[in-house]
Amino acid sequence: MKPIMSLLITLSLTWGVFGSASRPQPNANASGFSRVKNFDGLSVDSLADLAKARRATAKYHRVEQAEADGYINLNFCEEGEGCHWLKPSLLDGEFDPSEPEILLYTPDKDGWRLVAVEYVVPLAMSAVAPAGFVGDADHWREDSEGVGLWELTVWLWLDNPNGLYEQHNPRA
């Protein structure tokens, strides 16, 4: 049953049952901007966590919805990463795939395009990297932006040729 479940989850993520990846998205362009291809080799449990993250953040393709739900523009943009919107109430030291503390957007002709999410845990709340997604594929960074956080970027909405969990994306 596990191989069948793995296949179903992979197909769902690839074809958009969970995240509408193959159907036009708000802010998706003709080249399939919102398609993500880096799911190969991930465990069934990890794919399930990623599907949960995509379902939870699909409503934030419009930045206005993110702001209505409490995300605030930090006015911090980094090349290869995008601009950061933080939901302060989620800075609780806990990892939950359905509640990323930060949403990453890039500017486009119509405003902002959701490209990735970041999970962050203050260093003061955890001396070691959080458990994160199931398996060993994710890469938590310790204080890489100099603000005292464990950080994990996940390119849920824009394919990153460097990898799903890499901090920088040449396409952003």
Strand partners, 117: 103, 154
Q: What is the pLDDT of residue 38?
A: 60
Residue 114 belongs to some domain of the structure: yes
Residue 53 belongs to some domain of the structure: yes
Residue 103 belongs to some domain of the structure: yes
Using the predicted structure, report yes or no on whether residue 24 has a pLDDT greater than 50. Answer: no
Using the predicted structure, report yes or no on whether residue 14 has a pLDDT greater than 70. Answer: no
Q: Are strands 141-142 and 149-154 parallel, antiparallel or unpaired?
A: antiparallel
Residue 62 belongs to some domain of the structure: yes
Q: Which domain holds residue 37?
A: 2-154
Residue 162 belongs to some domain of the structure: no
Residue 58 belongs to some domain of the structure: yes
Using the predicted structure, report yes or no on whether residue 136 has a pLDDT greater than 60. Answer: yes
CA 141, 50, 39, 133 dihedral sign is positive
Tokens for 63? 């930045």
Per-residue pLDDT band for 43 (boundaries 50, 70, 90) equals confident
Total structural domains within the chain = 1
The mean of the pLDDT values for the chain is: 82
Residue 171 belongs to some domain of the structure: no
Q: 48-69 pLDDT, tens per residue?
A: 999 999 999 999 999 999 999 9
Query: What percentage of the chain has pLDDT greater than the value 70?
Result: 77
Residue 20 belongs to some domain of the structure: yes
Strand partners, 107: 112
**Region for residue 2 given its phi and psi (left: phi exceeds 0; alpha: psi -120 to 50; beta: otherwise):** alpha
